Chains A and B, each alone.
Chain A
Amino acid sequence: MQVTREIESYDTIVGFENVDYSHPNGTVALKNVSFKVEKGELLAILGSNGAGKTTLVRHINGLLKATHGTVKVFGEDAKLSTTAKLSRKVGIVFQNPNNQLFEQSVKKEIQFALRNFGFSENLVEERVNWALNTFSLSEYTERAPMELSGGEKKRLCIALVLAWDPDIFILDEPTVGQDSEQKENLVNIIRQLLSQKKTVILVTHDIEFVWPLQPRVLIMSNGEIIGDGKCQDVLSNETLMTNGSVLPPQLVEFSRLMRWSLPFPVNTSEARNLIEKTKLEQ
């Protein structure tokens, strides 16, 4: 079942139109994908392994070019642009931090992209300091990135992308290897970015991380978008979740048990309030 969503076109910054993509070995990874993302939107792309989530977001900064169809980023055809040019506006934090880190120090690691994008030295210094402070990495400034722990490396990867201030921020499996405190920090960063009218796209399996954020949700299965809509509508749709091989959040399951109607509570305190309210009504 497809959950449709009304799209206002005036602020569209990413647009996929009937996009197909086949890997060089012939495997079809995306089939007739069409959707739009607006400025300041929070979008979560969910689906099982091999559903095509990562392949999809790699089209946004031009790492992959659509076999058929059009991908437009800020009105520009991604096929006709370069990854370097698109990346200035679209920052991707990849799943595996070890694939990105190579410099001798944390500071140099953050400077790398800023210099590639031609930032002035003053601005480089300013952005590096901002990133180090925001992500509590100041004490590691001169440490080799390879020596950091898994969680710290992930934090550094997010910091080094945010340092060049992209308009669209894509996080591929951001919660892998992160403890609850770091996940909470990540939620705060996402909220801060949204308050600055930045667009955030999450590619994740972590449904419990997504639910409190209440983003627009896109469910993928076998390279197709099978659901696109409000978090409450999509994640409470049993058929859609089964077809997408996604387990519903615990609060959705609990709300169903309690026979509550939509909207379901998004966190435990809301659930507690609702329980109190139900008790009073009884």
Chain B
Amino acid sequence: MQWVAQGFLFVRGHTVVHRLDPRVRLLMSLALFSVALLSHSIEELLVIILIVLTIVSIARIIKRFAKAMIFTAVIALIAFALNLFFYPSSPHQAVVFGMRLFAVISSTSLFFLTSTPDELEHVMKWLHLPLDFVMVFVIAVRFVPVLLMDALQIMDAQRSRGLEFDKGNIFQRMRNVIPIMVPLIAVALNRSLDLAEAMDSRAYGATKKPTSLYHLTLKGSDYGMLAILLFGAAIGLYTTFYVKIF
């Protein structure tokens, strides 16, 4: 569990991918996402997954990617199995469905695994989304790993009181979740109240247009990556709709 939780903790990287403008990284994820969503062949989806894995290895986040994707892989397998079960006449379709699910989620994760919550905030502000919405979203993203670590600490505390999570029948196991969920919600609520007070005391909302110290600017490498992206996405979409390469 702790192994998986660490996949969601942001680690600041210093690779070519991390140095790209967050907007370019977002576009990269979106391009892969869109092509994956529209693809209908196993080969095309395989190419997209390979591109994602290549970017992951360049960004040196293989371990974190594996941790974050472990549940996605399980869900993709379940989707494959369900499709195979309900539509036994089309196993090809079941494979495509499972692979598409994995490709879509992994391409989206690329952006979140290589961006800091601050960068996320800058991109959302650049998109002129409402300030309160941006703040709520960024705080939620920032607190996911914190809550996961809280959950691990609570599990440790309850295990020390003789609670065995993996014992008993299904109902007993479901009941065993209560000693984790109740303190976790209470801790989260307390933390949110503390945070709200801390933000109020630092004049959050005092002005409708707060200034920002940082501004996003595109560099040469960003323009280069944008060109590659547009070219790649165009080829991807063209082959999906007009030419059957595979």
Contact = CB atoms under 8 A, between A and B. Distances in A.
B171 interface: no
B162 A63 contact: no
* Residue of A24, A82, A91, A117 contacting most chain B CB atoms (<10 Å): A24
A112 B179 contact: yes
Contacts of B186: 98, 101-102, 146
Contact of B6 (A25, A61, A112): A25
Contacts of B159: 63, 83-84, 87
A102 B182 contact: yes
A101 B162 CA distance: 14
Interface string A157-201: 000110010000000000000000000000000000000000000
Interface in B143-165: 150, 153-154, 156-164
A102 B182 CA distance: 5
A170 to B, nearest CB: 9
Nearest to B182: A102
A82 B178 CA distance: 21
Interface string A7-46: 0000000000000000011000000000000000000000
**Interface residues of A toward B: which range?**
20 to 34
Nearest to A104: B182
A14 to B, nearest CB: 16
A63 B156 CA distance: 7
A239 interface: no
A94 B157 contact: yes
Interface of B: 2-3, 6, 150, 153-154, 156-164, 178-179, 181-183, 186-187, 190
Given A82-B164, A84-B163, A113-B162, 11 more contacts: A58-B156, A84-B159, A87-B160, A98-B187, A99-B153, A99-B183, A100-B183, A101-B183, A102-B182, A112-B163, A117-B162
15 contacts: A63-B156, A83-B160, A84-B159, A84-B162, A84-B163, A91-B160, A92-B160, A99-B154, A100-B154, A100-B183, A113-B162, A116-B161, A116-B162, A117-B162, A146-B186
Interface of A: 24-25, 58, 61, 63, 82-84, 87-88, 91-92, 94, 96, 98-102, 112-113, 116-117, 146, 160-161, 164
* 5 nearest A-B residue pairs (beta carbon): A116-B162, A102-B182, A113-B161, A100-B157, A83-B159
